Structure 1
């Protein structure tokens, strides 16, 4: 098949290049590590704390070389050196130890925990470089790849939930291959829809959804102006920097990480049986003043199940959604190098099966599935003594399979089709159906074909760094990257006939569809997405006594080409000047001049300045009396202006658009269409970017002999030039033009703590972080005569997410104010007239007459302060280690979040009266005092389906996001089989959820999860083994 040829060709071409890079590096390593045997020594020994506990993962470096090694799980190390060499031992949280190589002959080296902040001497990723954490005055949170859980998930970002202060992570789904996460950094500060941070991998704008945790070195979240102004009008929503692992000058190291497990639904829809459904249907008709649809004899037949063909009773959820689906993850890494070349290579295979339960079809797969193959090779070269180069090459092949009708359509079918609509199979083996419900879910899986979406992605980056010897400390840098993603689609198509019983009891065909043979749908190329990133710049470092200076400048340009759209082009110049005095006082000044093609010529560029300063107060002499308690204390603060160019409602909004179609304008009282062109959206040549003025102040501290880390930040932001609709009359005949007349502000604080203490063979770790954010709309370009109760000015920036039955999302700020349910006709007659239905009855929702005009309609909708973005989000965790065993758990939660359940409670279709399991709690005359929901109705439902606060619920939750139990085998017993370390572990994801939405079977991260068109959220259990050679 064509698509298979593409796949094989891609894999062969990519694999050849990977292995050339890898084994070329191995060859170079072998040649370059040869030493004079008379001068060489082997520095060896074991690294321990004072209590005798081994210290794993210590970097062992040979001074003035690139040779590096790591201590094993039992603390042992061995490294080749010469007799004159000096060996350096470094690890986060410990003081650095320096020993001559000749003193390390099976020696015991004691590692003493550092009396300053853990990781204070480590490199932290900043824009286009790294910096010691001690000298960072901006607000940056970092987590290492080693601290992330090993989970068999297709979306790496989901592992970040609850782990970093200021970062809100929301899982957006669980469909195989589409369980991406959304991010917010310090809440939502704009009411425009896209508030996602900028994401860069190794300095290039890329997502990290499909990365494996084994290729991650660090993930840093940049949150204040000083850290993000480098990105100009791309940084207002925060920045996430991902750095990948690189090789070190050591002997070749091989690692295997293998996992197998299952995924199970967190919630399943509780379906009605046919007897209950028919009973509720009769009640709904009674509420409408109609006679029963199902006589007592039919109800008795449904209850007894005596005739499953005439009186079917289908539980579609149990029949077509499994209780578990397998998942596998295989990862291999190879790393090493020498003074000339260092390499890191990763290969990853991932497979995720779906929960759909179709019958076996010999010609195509009926279940959903996701497969992924990805690889990475990072190569570092010392070309000359002054020239360094990196060559990074990676890619992946992904294939998502799903039913031909689509998973959303299939899920909607099983959640909206009544249990008694038809038998899935008739006595003669034909598919059942009816005139009201023509889609048969069994046939949708078994006899409708499938679709396979294939994406192949290549990522290539080359960079060079040249030291310029005419001025000591000056170097030139350049980077070029090219990414391309090709997308294809292929599959199988087939139609099926449906048959149902007519009033005489005979099977007759429903509709005109016929059974057709299975046809192969040839591959279709759906386009390439290409991106080019380029930057060139200079770095200058200068030390003069106790003064240290650094200056960096970069010219950057990015071009993104998307099929059937205009290219997106951005460029700019970023400059940063850093100063430090006595390694105690430090400051940064950043100035960026950047532009975007989103705006009209002459209005595309702007300046984005920022400043920051820091002071390590604990280094002062007056601080010494406090050092028995406070080991380390740093104050820092920043202020600056950044921007966001993601404001256009359409591409190039500064152009006038015209529609060319068969219909132009409508004329006359009959609205007769006249052929021709018509005007589209109005242009706004003055459109500009959002401007965010950010201020932040905070501190970092280490207490009680380095056992307790604390950090705190207070932040405040004013955002101007937010996009809003201009106030124009409808007589203009066009859609309202978008203008930059909105303003908003937000402020809040975030704090984080971590505690670590060892007691002989027992180690305890506790971590937690907490973020609180409050926002307010300052200006919104509202109509001059808008009633005060409808004004959104003064409310928070968020909106409540409303999911329609097709799964699309809108954001709602205006709601009718509910006042319970009408209990009698007298109450209805005495209340203002509600115009949403032809007839208001007892059991309907009662609304407040906000404008007091005696009638209730959309003019009574009021602005609310509800938001689906939480005001507070937090995370906390616990880790325990005793001997060879380790246990960890991480919780994540939110508070102050509101969700709408209107489309959950009213799920279904008009043909079945939108009846579901919640209908059992609806109003009837007998349940009037305890009813939770309004009355059921088949014909007069308009009053109860309005957007009102009646349907709003708390979206707060606390979730056990990750738990892991592991056992590490003794290194001594593994050496005989040439294994450095081996660990087995059991891990879980989305394990427990505490939420008021549990009783509704709603996952709190997505309000519509588990209903209608949404694939169920899953929890994951997996057993894994990690082996290092």
Structure 2
């Protein structure tokens, strides 16, 4: 498997050998640093040490409260420490007359001259400005005031108490231009993050997830979601050309994470625990037993005995269910989802410790979260740990080492009947009629006499009882070593090496059995009440196999960096150079054995049937170099230029390298004398603009090679191998040696402003992403007669554009009260410039070229329901040719508008002909289908040690619709949402919904089923109380805080009466969680 990578000129063995030598060198360097010095060197060292001065200080706020984590740095050097939980710091100064720079986020930075003092007291004043905030960017950090790109940051403290198993879910509602979906329903499911809603003119929609960088190492979205907020220092999201430093992978934005490291000082221990209860925001509502039986009776009557000659009404004896059965169903109806549903509980523990000296610092942390399911018998668990240390080996030479890992277990029930979907548990329960019992006299009931291999025949409680499960256990281990050196003979120059090794293993197991269900003779006049004698035993196959799926992924990354940063008067410059190399390989095995003998023995040795297996191996490599130059003049004129070269083994040798430049400029007009001296209300105003070329290798591996397949049982027979002849089949897919990465030119203009002593802040961004050379399969343009799969080609072009606005206010009332409000508005859309589409669509209203990918909902325009036969007759008198989808109109049908006639000989649609024809009389019914506007509204406040924060979100601009699964006609074994109880009958002509029998008429995409798409809900709230310092001290603690957190607590607007408006009715419901927690510091 490795042979392919090792044959590449630039991805050979030497980097692995180099890494080995690097580790050896680090070890030897470390040993040498701690080895015993010679007498001469020791004497010299003692003289230097005796000349150094120790200083101790305390940092407090305006109210005299200690501030922990304040950075105290010797000006002009990289020597720094931080305050402990009591606000105390200690430093060893070379001379004793240095100047200390004391900084803390949210407070004004101070410079204190030591002047020989051994103890100092510092009081920091709060600042509403965040311009000195250090922001993590690609391969480094920058002060916010120097940023020229669109970079959003997360306040990690705002999310650290949220008890979710996916870190992405905790970010919902925190950042403009960042979409978060999922993460608040089934335990164990990760949320999905997108940046500025990327658009692709390709068949499969393209890969939309951003790039994830954790401690300067490429990681996956799973790695990011595995992180616990307690181990994260800060998170930045690069949304524009700022991501160009990552070249071929930065097109969809970049999420950059820095994990916590140790800080000098006494050991600081923090422990947190929370316990929460999770329940559905709204369980789907389906018809009760009597409602469904009446619904089915009306379907039966309409199908057989409706008299259309003017006599309204049905013949009573055509009913499927008899009166005695209907009476029984009134009092014997069970909501099976509610019956199986239970409150789930979440328990979360976090523990970390950090500290150290000026020479060595350390951090260690661990977390554990246990999320039970709302169905008894399954749960999700996750453990994480992280340990790191930074040691100054010598003057200017620092060695860093970290070890992190995770373990997770995710259990679900396995329903193999029908499609193998995770949501089959919910679908089987809401689909089973409420008049159907799961058990009669303790025996499981046969739910359908038709195909038992469908979801209608799935017996949830037997699958649960027999513990038919799918279980995924994962573990990951990451080892990272860094070596940083301040070059002594060139002031401001630093060199660094960063090596990371990552191992991921996953073991999946699925266990399904057979189980018996029983058919009964039935009771009631028409034999529809379950009971009587057992007349048949039916064996149900729920997979009847044990399947295992072990996999592993092994990867490493090597980075080398040079960084030069100096300030010359008003000129400030920094230069970065990066060398980077990544290689990975993975292997996945699927092995199954049928014929499970006994339930409760999920092992292949207890199965007797056929063994099946397959294996998939992949390998990958990328080589890159990058450079970046930043320049600032008087913090007024700003510029940044970056350039990156990437090589990917995905592409043929001639197309492997891609080059990605970017340029951004900034002008802080508020620093201009003409502005500063005349505009007093504006404290800060910066204009910025950026442009950059990025890419994405959005394709399968090695498509430039010709593909073959192997198969047995075919071809010529030689020798004694008559039972398994082997054949080689060429041209499974055509090769394309010209394929290369997708290109994306990003443009962004922005404004950052602060007013009224920085209490009011405003940010605006407008962006355009011009994506071209997008890899897509031109299946609509190539004949199927070629006899092979069509390769991807660089063809698609799409523009993505939008804007983001944010407005925030932060202020204090007196000494004890504070409050803040933050709102942000975002909008985005796109235009498909060139795409592959059916030839018949070109030039018609179906042609999408030059238009948005979201043109609204394509369907049929409705004109209401025919209420009576008289209304039908009157309509036909005026429209004698009217038919809808081949049927003459009847009372209870939906009436449709005739849009056009069929195509003529020239391929053009003709004038309306009075007939509603499928795929002819449809049109785009709304301007948009998805919500393109999003508004975040977050606010908080505090009184002394009591604080409150609330995150809310709104969206609008699209069109929702009742989903197809809810519209389809129900059966005696498949229930439907409760709105169908109000359906048309001769006795109920003003019903909201049509006659359920005429499904060919109503089971269409039509505006009849439209629902408002507006959403408004509270994402989370956090109420906390910090124990006063004197009380905590008496309890032997340095700090203590109790908090209550609610996630997804309130849905302010839901136009659906039968489900939550953020998900389909037949999937796992959205969850609402309330948690009580405690954080203590020791």
Q: TM-score, normalised by structure 1?
A: 0.85
Alignment of 1:502-581 (within 5 A): 502=521, 506-508=532-534, 510-513=536-539, 524=548, 526-563=550-587, 564-581=616-633
SS of the residue 1:775 aligns to: strand
Please state how far the C-alpha of 1:605 moved relative to its aligned partner. Answer: 2.2
Pair 111,467 (structure 1): closer, same or farther in 2 beyond 3 Å: closer
Please state how far the C-alpha of 1:799 moved relative to its aligned partner. Answer: 7.6
Alignment partner of 2:685 out of 633, 646, 656: 633
Does residue 368 of structure 1 match 2:378?
Answer: yes
Does residue 58 of structure 1 match 2:105?
Answer: no
- Kept in 1, the 8 Å contact 2:497–2:560? The answer is yes
SS of the residue 2:326 aligns to: helix
Q: Structure 2 CA distance, aligned partners of 1:730 and 1:834?
A: 36
Please state how far the C-alpha of 1:849 moved relative to its aligned partner. Answer: 4.8
Q: Comparing 589-598 with 246-255, which one deviates more in the overlay?
A: 589-598
- Kept in 1, the 8 Å contact 2:824–2:935? The answer is yes
Partner of 1:810: none
Does residue 609 of structure 1 match 2:609?
Answer: no
Does residue 68 of structure 1 match 2:81?
Answer: yes
Please state how far the C-alpha of 1:549 moved relative to its aligned partner. Answer: 2.6
Q: Structure 1 CA distance, aligned partners of 2:876 and 2:652?
A: 56
Q: Comparing 393-402 with 381-390, which one deviates more in the overlay?
A: 381-390
Structure 1: stretches of 5+ with no match in the other structure? 1-20, 306-312, 358-366, 666-674, 801-812
Partner of 1:156: 167
Please state how far the C-alpha of 1:118 moved relative to its aligned partner. Answer: 2.3
Pair 126,779 (structure 1): closer, same or farther in 2 beyond 3 Å: same
Please state how far the C-alpha of 1:43 moved relative to its aligned partner. Answer: 3.0
SS of the residue 2:770 aligns to: strand
Q: Deviations over 1:50-109 (max 9, x none)?
A: x7677665334566574523364xx75354656656554211232222335689898763
Alignment partner of 2:181 out of 167, 170, 174: 170
Does residue 645 of structure 1 match 2:664?
Answer: no
Q: Deviations over 1:760-803 (max 9, x none)?
A: 21011111111122322222244555352111124323488xxx
Compute the RMSD of aligned alpha carbons: 3.6
Partner of 1:210: 226
- Kept in 2, the 8 Å contact 1:137–1:586? The answer is yes
SS of the residue 2:821 aligns to: strand
Alignment partner of 2:439 out of 418, 425, 428: 425
- Kept in 2, the 8 Å contact 1:89–1:96? The answer is yes
Pair 515,272 (structure 1): closer, same or farther in 2 beyond 3 Å: same
SS of the residue 1:445 aligns to: helix
- Kept in 2, the 8 Å contact 1:460–1:482? The answer is yes
Please state how far the C-alpha of 1:851 moved relative to its aligned partner. Answer: 4.3
Q: Structure 2 CA distance, aligned partners of 1:740 and 1:628?
A: 53
Does residue 241 of structure 1 match 2:256?
Answer: yes
Please state how far the C-alpha of 1:861 moved relative to its aligned partner. Answer: 4.6
Alignment partner of 2:956 out of 895, 898, 901: 895
- Kept in 2, the 8 Å contact 1:92–1:118? The answer is no
Q: Structure 2 CA distance, aligned partners of 1:865 and 1:188?
A: 20
Alignment partner of 1:438 out of 457, 465, 470: 457
Please state how far the C-alpha of 1:948 moved relative to its aligned partner. Answer: 4.1
Q: Comparing 1019-1028 with 915-924, which one deviates more in the overlay?
A: 915-924
Pair 820,530 (structure 1): closer, same or farther in 2 beyond 3 Å: farther
Pair 860,511 (structure 1): closer, same or farther in 2 beyond 3 Å: farther
Partner of 1:476: 495
Please state how far the C-alpha of 1:865 moved relative to its aligned partner. Answer: 6.4
Pair 904,401 (structure 1): closer, same or farther in 2 beyond 3 Å: same
Please state how far the C-alpha of 1:978 moved relative to its aligned partner. Answer: 3.4
Does residue 315 of structure 1 match 2:335?
Answer: yes
Please state how far the C-alpha of 1:864 moved relative to its aligned partner. Answer: 6.6
Pair 335,195 (structure 1): closer, same or farther in 2 beyond 3 Å: same
Pair 449,387 (structure 1): closer, same or farther in 2 beyond 3 Å: same
Partner of 1:109: 122
Alignment of 1:390-409 (within 5 A): 390-405=400-415, 407-409=422-424
- Kept in 2, the 8 Å contact 1:220–1:240? The answer is yes
Alignment partner of 2:508 out of 457, 471, 489: 489
Q: Structure 2 CA distance, aligned partners of 1:374 and 1:612?
A: 39
Partner of 1:360: none
SS of the residue 2:244 aligns to: helix
Partner of 2:810: 756
- Kept in 2, the 8 Å contact 1:185–1:197? The answer is no
Please state how far the C-alpha of 1:533 moved relative to its aligned partner. Answer: 2.0
Q: Structure 1 CA distance, aligned partners of 2:198 and 2:1012?
A: 18
- Kept in 1, the 8 Å contact 2:520–2:536? The answer is no
Q: Structure 2 CA distance, aligned partners of 1:590 and 1:46?
A: 39
Q: Structure 2 CA distance, aligned partners of 1:731 and 1:404?
A: 40
- Kept in 1, the 8 Å contact 2:59–2:70? The answer is no
Partner of 2:935: 874
Partner of 1:301: 328
Partner of 1:256: 271
Partner of 2:994: 934
Q: Structure 2 CA distance, aligned partners of 1:652 and 1:383?
A: 45
Please state how far the C-alpha of 1:510 moved relative to its aligned partner. Answer: 4.8
Q: Structure 2 CA distance, aligned partners of 1:514 and 1:926?
A: 42
Does residue 413 of structure 1 match 2:428?
Answer: yes
Alignment partner of 2:151 out of 124, 135, 140: 140
SS of the residue 1:209 aligns to: helix
Pair 142,604 (structure 1): closer, same or farther in 2 beyond 3 Å: same
Q: Structure 1 CA distance, aligned partners of 2:818 and 2:566?
A: 43
Q: Structure 1 CA distance, aligned partners of 2:706 and 2:975?
A: 44
Q: Structure 1 CA distance, aligned partners of 2:984 and 2:355?
A: 70
- Kept in 1, the 8 Å contact 2:281–2:1060? The answer is no
Q: Deviations over 1:211-257 (max 9, x none)?
A: 111111111111111x0111112111111111111111111110001
Please state how far the C-alpha of 1:884 moved relative to its aligned partner. Answer: 2.0
- Kept in 1, the 8 Å contact 2:882–2:888? The answer is no
Q: Structure 1 CA distance, aligned partners of 2:758 and 2:84?
A: 22
Please state how far the C-alpha of 1:185 moved relative to its aligned partner. Answer: 2.6
Pair 515,928 (structure 1): closer, same or farther in 2 beyond 3 Å: closer
Q: Structure 2 CA distance, aligned partners of 1:901 and 1:457?
A: 42
Q: Structure 2 CA distance, aligned partners of 1:870 and 1:916?
A: 25
Alignment partner of 2:781 out of 727, 730, 750: 727
Does residue 983 of structure 1 match 2:997?
Answer: no
Please state how far the C-alpha of 1:757 moved relative to its aligned partner. Answer: 1.0
Alignment partner of 1:338 out of 316, 340, 357: 357
Q: Structure 2 CA distance, aligned partners of 1:347 and 1:185?
A: 33
SS of the residue 1:279 aligns to: helix
* Alignment size in residue pairs: 947
Pair 67,644 (structure 1): closer, same or farther in 2 beyond 3 Å: closer
Q: Structure 2 CA distance, aligned partners of 1:915 and 1:1022?
A: 34
Q: Structure 1 CA distance, aligned partners of 2:515 and 2:180?
A: 43
Q: Structure 1 CA distance, aligned partners of 2:924 and 2:540?
A: 52
Pair 325,996 (structure 1): closer, same or farther in 2 beyond 3 Å: closer
Please state how far the C-alpha of 1:987 moved relative to its aligned partner. Answer: 0.7
Pair 181,781 (structure 1): closer, same or farther in 2 beyond 3 Å: closer
Q: Structure 2 CA distance, aligned partners of 1:525 and 1:196?
A: 25
Does residue 228 of structure 1 match 2:243?
Answer: yes
Q: Structure 2 CA distance, aligned partners of 1:834 and 1:464?
A: 78
Pair 269,230 (structure 1): closer, same or farther in 2 beyond 3 Å: same
Please state how far the C-alpha of 1:982 moved relative to its aligned partner. Answer: 0.6
Q: Structure 1 CA distance, aligned partners of 2:211 and 2:491?
A: 34
Pair 409,507 (structure 1): closer, same or farther in 2 beyond 3 Å: farther
Partner of 1:916: 977
Please state how far the C-alpha of 1:952 moved relative to its aligned partner. Answer: 4.4
SS of the residue 1:893 aligns to: strand
Q: Structure 2 CA distance, aligned partners of 1:106 and 1:544?
A: 33
- Kept in 2, the 8 Å contact 1:47–1:54? The answer is yes
Please state how far the C-alpha of 1:188 moved relative to its aligned partner. Answer: 4.0
Please state how far the C-alpha of 1:694 moved relative to its aligned partner. Answer: 1.6
SS of the residue 2:557 aligns to: strand
